[in-house]
Structure 1
């Protein structure tokens, strides 16, 4: 077989969030549309997800969660800076606001990350093959330094750097998403020297912000892959005979969550209950997408294969 132009890790995020999401991600893996998963250890279906990953030998990493549901590390509610008085994390934007106000203890962030790694090992019997952050918290100021230190000490080799080529030309994204994604990108760029200093690796290119939910289609994936090949480490595409571009495509496939079933302690969110999850699953496993990979010289793989 000819050498691929791209090695692509297609990571199903939020594995373990609920039984239906978990089942959908497994079906995506078995159908060849997902090649890697990222486990939420505080998800309601985390134990089931771990069993399925072992049964089907699914490459798996940790989706470190500091924003949704209940923490893993036991701390009295009155002393935890990471949770509300009700014992839940502050949420995607609430966490960021508390961080900006200087209200979060980085010692508690570190304790929670280490507790989630320990629970992952309890569930899977081995360390995560990679570790990223739910809702991109791992690239936030201060958090990224703690995150990098934990990965370095535990020898977890790979993470995610969410800087997506072609993002700024996506005029169809609503303004509020553009603002959030722009900030994620700035935080990710500022994380690069921190991760490098700690010897942490990541693929050459990240994809997934422009193809999430209903924005996922054969044409949007083709567009994203084209940008990834152009943005490879050696400039516009891999040189003939050179190494392939490495990339990660973040995806959120699954079957819609049932109301009151799943989540991380507070029930499933609207995105999880919507048809967008199943739409992603349908696109990722469509024959046209698998044909696209073949036409573009894309080989699906896991982080361990990079």
Structure 2
């Protein structure tokens, strides 16, 4: 393996998430983060980003919490009777049934990119999404087209080589994400969006992130990564457990995973000397998303 992006998702979700991500960046254990602009602490996250110069992408969110579009009549098919997004599976089901107006999707993408610029004073270094919604076949073209308009040049490509090793109830969902991503490459290329050649992290989130599982992920990609400028992205979700009433993307507060110790588990592993030694044993060099431009 040559170069590795280590990107921490969900910046802006809560103060404890923000603190953990900044800790890891300052320690040199992650290289970048992705901002949830509808996170209740997105403004705090951008202040921290400006202070510590952490590179940020947009973590496009169409599934959790409240839209950032102020006039909800402009995106009303995206929300339920509580004016909240339909959820990870709810949005996908609604798309399949034809209940979502794609113009509403486009409007919310525009709104989130504009808010990112307003909060941070910059364009995202890349775009990815909450629960990988950006590769959904009904959405990916809109994501790429609008990202291109804003000058975003890079996008996440979540094709995890070891999904088959994750034998839990989420495996079929992850497999679908991989297949949708493979079908998205043509659209990424159409809009000249660059993406890392390889990806790890979907199969090793939370308690599934161990030194052994990381080694399996690296080994699954190592022999394919022969070019001198090959880049892999490692997606992670580190944090300290959220306070039940402080964070999230709406009045409903943080979700169960955010409050669990699985976030702390990821933080502890990324902070460990053993993790650093593992990367060194494979001669891995950390890099930013702009490495894929070269």
TM range (shorter): over 0.9
Task: Map residues 254-273 of structure 1 onto 2, 5 A cutoff.
Answer: 254-265=239-250, 266-273=252-259
C-alpha distance after superposition, 1:31-53 (max 9, x if no partner): 22111100000001101100111
Deviation at 1:79? 6.2
**1:11/1:249 contact within 8 Å kept:** yes
Query: Hey, what's the Cα distance between the residues in 1 that align with 2:31 and 2:6?
Result: 5
Residues 78 and 109 of structure 1, relative CA distance in 2, 3 Å threshold: closer
Structure 2 residue corresponding to 1:155, chosen from 151, 154, 176: 151
Q: Unaligned 5+ residue runs, structure 1? A: 233-237
Change (3 A) 1:178 1:166: same
Contact 1:216–1:280 (8 Å) recurs in 2:
yes
Provide the rounded CA distance (Å) in 1 between the counterparts of 2:217 and 2:270: 14
Alignment partner, residue 295 of structure 1: 281
Q: Alignment partner for residue 178 of structure 2, among 144, 163, 185?
A: 185
Q: State how 1:152-301 maps to structure 2 within 5 Å.
A: 152-168=148-164, 170=165, 172-174=166-168, 176-232=169-225, 238=226, 242-265=227-250, 266-301=252-287
Q: Deviations over 1:158-178 (max 9, x none)?
A: 11111111222x0x531x211
Q: Count residues with an aligned counterpart.
A: 291
- Could you list the runs of 5+ residues in structure 2 that have no partner in the other structure? none
Q: 2:236, 2:266 within 8 Å by CA — same for their partners in 1?
A: yes
Q: CA RMSD of the aligned region, Å?
A: 1.3
Moved segments of 4+, more than 6 Å: none
Deviation at 1:73, TM superposition (A): 1.0
Q: Residues 45 and 78 from structure 1, CA distance in 2 versus in 1: closer, same or farther, beyond 3 angstroms?
A: closer
SS of equivalent residue, structure 2 residue 69: coil
Alpha-carbon offset, residue 231 of structure 1: 3.3
Contact 2:75/2:104 (CA < 8 Å) preserved in 1? no
TM-score with structure 2 setting the length: 0.96
